[in-house]
Amino acid sequence: MASNRFSEQDYDRIYRRDAFTCVYCGFDGHAFENWMQLELDHVIPISQEGKDTDDNLVTCCPHCNKVTNGMQDLKGLPIEKILSQKRDVVMKDRKALYSRWLESQLPSANVVAARLGADQA
């Protein structure tokens, strides 16, 4: 809740409407530690004449907020279309991140060699 743009009531109302869940990735913000991470996203950004109205605000997680930040030419599109486009961007990003994460979990060649050596001893 870094911004003073909205009141606590605004946050609580939108979070509750969206079931404390990121509308883009499904991040579950029910538990306190996760709830603290929740943010509000302007579906149509302020920079593209989006308003501070409930129908232009959704609950999202910090990662999705960052990934969808800067998407252009959203003004004038139906809200559902924009949500769909943003979900596509989020899913592409998550797919790339997931591959990177998998790679990071693989043991390095040195670790493998050391383990093989240990097994033979």
Contact positions toward Zn ion, by CB under 5 A?
22, 24-25, 27, 61, 64
CA atoms within 13 A on the CB side of 93: 15
Which residue, 15 or 24, is less far from Zn ion as judged by CB?
Answer: 24
With respect to Zn ion, which residue has the nearer C-beta, 44 or 63? 63
- CA 77 vs. chain centroid, Å, equals 21
User: Considering Cα of 109, then 110, then 116, then 120, what sign does the dihedral take?
Assistant: positive
Minimum CB–partner distance for residue 90 and Zn ion (Å): 6
Nearest to 85 by CA among 18, 39, 17, 24: 24
Select 43 or 64, whichever has its Cβ closest to Zn ion. Answer: 64
* Contact criterion met (CB below 8 Å) for 65 and 39: yes
- Rank residues 70 and 117 by Cβ distance to Zn ion and give the closer one: 70
| Minimum distance, C-beta of residue 93 to Zn ion, in the bound complex (Å) | 10
CB of 25 to Zn ion, least distance (A): 3
CB of 64 to Zn ion, least distance (A): 3
